[in-house]
Amino acid sequence: MPLRAKSISVRKNKHLILDNISISLKKGSICSVIGPNGAGKSTLISALSGEQAPEVGEVYLENLPLGELSLEQLARTRAVMEQNNNIVFDFSVEEVLGMGWVRDALGSSPLATEAVSKLADLCQVSPFLKRSFLSLSGGEKQRVQFCRALIQIWQPPGESHTKYLLLDEPTSNLDISHELAVMNILKKIGEEGVGVLIAFHDLNLASYFSDEIYLLNEGEVVASGPPSEVIRSDILSEVYDSSISVEERKGKLHVYTH
């Protein structure tokens, strides 16, 4: 069963941020949430992760309301990468990655060492392991936080529990090379059965890599479906209040602004 929100509404400081939102994230798919600033993308991720309970409606994980699941159950099933990192203490990168390990105490199992080693190499952060997290650049911190989220949902060979990954702007602060590296990693883990949901500002990345896209505006879903149904010049121009054109080249939709 998917991770899904059914007709949820969320308020912050008495202001309605999400209004009657329904969304479904299936395992093995990449789902993008796009929309202008203030559309509700980050709030939607917060609600889907269980960090913020909706005022109306319900969020379900594997057909169970999130409110009925313990923090441990949530941690073992879904990982969240927020838009801003909140690490202010002088942890090493290795210690930050260890925060993603939820199976047992870090270091008490060879699986922990294996997960950190493999994923640090995959995310190209191995050279930073002994460095202070606070000494890294913005892009380097972003890659470390991405790696931490992958460690949280990592499974050794032979295990096949359904996992979900919720990411808020995972490619911000990254150069083109590392941006594409992150997206190709997400594409691969999606093919391996992980359900991936990404909040994007970059419409081209959403178009290229998504199986399904939800377009939010002022807290409501104004369009949803495969990229061909959402990445359209008429819809995007109206929502973003800008002149936007969309062209198809080699089977991919390309977004241009004027």
pLDDT (average), residues 160-186: 94
Give the pLDDT score at 206.
Answer: 96
Give the pLDDT score at 88.
Answer: 66
User: At 107, is the pLDDT very low, low, confident or very high (cuts 50, 70, 90)?
Assistant: low
Give the pLDDT score at 63.
Answer: 87
pLDDT (average), residues 103-122: 81
User: At 250, is the pLDDT very low, low, confident or very high (cuts 50, 70, 90)?
Assistant: confident
Structural domain boundaries, residue 56: 3-257
Quick one: which of 8, 116, 106 has its CA closest to 65? 8
Integer Cα distance of 100 and 18 in angstroms: 29
Give the pLDDT score at 157.
Answer: 81
| DSSP conformation class of 76 | H
Contact partners, residue 214, CB within 8 Å, separation at least 6: 23, 31, 32, 33, 34, 221, 223, 224, 230
Give the pLDDT score at 202.
Answer: 95
User: At 111, is the pLDDT very low, low, confident or very high (cuts 50, 70, 90)?
Assistant: confident
- Tell me the β-bridge partners of 6: 58
Give the pLDDT score at 215.
Answer: 98
- Give pLDDT tens digits for 176-215: 999 999 999 999 999 999 999 999 999 999 999 999 999 9
Cα of 233 vs its chain's centroid, Å: 25
Kindly report the CATH number assigned to the domain that includes residue 211: 3.40.50.300
Report the predicted TM-score, pTM, of the whole model to 2 decimal places: 0.93
Give the pLDDT score at 74.
Answer: 92
The domain total for the chain is: 1
